[in-house]
Amino acid sequence: MRAGEDGHWVDPQPLRPVADRLRSGSLDLHAYVDQLCDRIERVETDVHAYVDEPGRRERLHAEAARLAQHWPELEGRPPLFGIPVAVKDIVRVDGLPTRAGSRLPPEVLAGPQAGMVSRLRDAGALVAGKSATAEFANFAPGETRNPHDLTRTPGGSSSGSAAAVAAATALLATGTQTVGSVVRPAAFCGVVGWKSTHGRVPKDGVVDHSPSFDSVGMFAADVDGVTTAAKVLCPNWAEPPAVDRLVVGLPVGNYLDQADVEALIVFTRQLELLRGAGHEVTDVPFADLLGSYPELLAHNLTINRYELAATHQAWFDVHRDLYRPQTVGAIEHGRSISDAAYAEARAHLDDVRAAVDERLSAAGVDLLVAPAALGAAPVGIDTTGDPAMALPWTYAGLPAVSLPGASTALALPLGLQLVGRAGSDEALLAAAATLEPVVGS
């Protein structure tokens, strides 16, 4: 689809049909690489989901040749054989520079390839390129635009990853979430985003932001695509038992009240769809799960900024003039936070994470549900939108999924956020697959 008078490039492609054709040989891998590169060249003039890469087509054909040589027989080809993956530009990839959306010299950020990239490549994936990110996955956005409306943000900081999947310039994309950087862009771009349990997917080879919160995530057109990737990335993946009827917790209180009017109207309609499909929706006071919301916000900011400053300790004074003002401000704020204030905040975080599973059990719910963002993607690309709806669950270290399907009166996507128990990524994604046709109907 060419961006026309409606100004969008939207055509997300489910992974499985393409994967099945590539693995069976009914779709020639080199022909597919050419189709993909043609698509990228057309779309990127408007969307800017990728870091510029001269020679992308030649590199991908060389990678495809190596794949075909490694798996010459159709039988036994791995699940992601030939599938193009956009890799967020804070994740190191052999053969491609890592800039983290910044002007710092790439050699400063160089290091061994991320383990998650190695696992994806071992499963047959092709790295379509480095996807654009806000500077150091913070709040200074890049040039990426929302494929649904080129005047709007795609969200951040995994901006390019979500936009690439929405625009069909990748079938999978990696993301990371420190506050809301997978769930929010997935919602704004109308794709599925999965943020893993904190620490579930090894994060070696990823440029740190705030290690207490940083978690790996993935984007795809549907839950099946994300689940296929999750099985590759998660150690000790265990298939969960099938569940037909879910008990869904609604975290009522000042947290939920932040969403805008239209988002809440649509969310209420989604809850009705869940009830109509036989699932139970029960109110759970937010405070019963995570305590005081304002207190949590304050501690979140303390930890985030303190750890961001520590992450950049070796680079900031040398390269300060190359940082953008938003990042400079965040690092300077972090440097002003005392060790005692950080220790107090970390103690609060540890208490919340130690108690949240028992509190979810006491509430008797299988998962929580909330809007994935305060509303639709805002106009402009100077900011990436507010991550408030994802923040508490990231703080608690819980896995989350954003499901597409709903939209505003202007046909802009609105995501439904599902939140599971720590370590229960398998059960959460299975629940997401159950609910996907309900909320997408």
Q: Are residues 305 and 267 in the same domain?
A: no
Q: Are residues 304 and 407 in the same domain?
A: no
User: How many structural domains is the chain composed of?
Assistant: 2
Q: What are phi and psi of 421, to 5 degrees?
A: -80, 155
Q: Are residues 217 and 364 in the same domain?
A: yes
Q: Are residues 211 and 80 in the same domain?
A: yes
Q: Are residues 393 and 328 in the same domain?
A: no
CATH number of the domain enclosing 200: 3.90.1300.10
- What is the secondary structure of 169-224 as a DSSP string? S-SEEEEEESSSTTHHHHHHHTSEEEEPPTTTS--TTB--S-TTT-EEEEEESSHH
Spatial CB neighbours of 230, under 8 Å, sequence gap ≥ 6: 194, 196, 218, 237, 425, 426, 429
Sheet with strand 84-88: strands edge to edge = 126-131, 84-88, 172-177, 215-220, 192-195, 400-407, 413-419, 367-371, 247-252, 280-285
Provide the pLDDT confidence category of residue 2 given band limits of 50, 70 and 90.
very low
Q: Is the pLDDT of residue 205 over 70?
A: yes
Q: Are residues 61 and 191 in the same domain?
A: yes
Q: Kindly report the CA angle at 145 between 379 and 400, in degrees rounded to 5?
A: 85
Q: Is the pLDDT of residue 141 over 80?
A: yes
Residue 266 tokens, joined: 């649509």
Q: Are residues 400 and 359 in the same domain?
A: yes
Kind plus residue range of the DSSP H or E element containing 126:
strand 126-131
Provide the pLDDT confidence category of residue 6 given band limits of 50, 70 and 90.
low
Provide the pLDDT confidence category of residue 7 given band limits of 50, 70 and 90.
low
**pLDDT value at residue 8:** 77
Q: Are residues 159 and 233 in the same domain?
A: yes
Q: Are residues 135 and 272 in the same domain?
A: yes
Helix, strand, coil percent content, the chain, rounded in steps of 5: 45, 15, 40
Question: How far is residue 306's CA from residue 36's CA, in Å, rounded to a whole number?
Answer: 41
Q: Are residues 376 and 433 in the same domain?
A: yes
**pLDDT value at residue 4:** 42
Q: Are residues 114 and 181 in the same domain?
A: yes
The crossing angle, in degrees rounded to 10, of helices 339-363 and 293-311 is 130
The domain in which residue 328 lies consists of 294-344
With beta carbons less than 8 A apart as the criterion, state whether 420 and 376 touch. no
With beta carbons less than 8 A apart as the criterion, state whether 111 and 155 touch. no
Mean pLDDT, the chain, rounded, equals 96
Tell me 324's DSSP state: -
Q: Which of 418, 421, 411 is CA-nearest to residue 438?
A: 418
Provide the pLDDT confidence category of residue 199 given band limits of 50, 70 and 90.
very high
Express each pLDDT in 261-316 by its tens digit: 999 999 999 999 999 999 999 999 999 999 999 999 999 999 999 999 999 999 99
Q: Is the pLDDT of residue 3 over 80?
A: no
Rg (CA), the chain: 21
**Mean pLDDT (whole number) for 318-333:** 98
Q: Are residues 304 and 272 in the same domain?
A: no
Prediction pTM value: 0.97
Express each pLDDT in 44-61 by its tens digit: 999 999 999 999 999 999
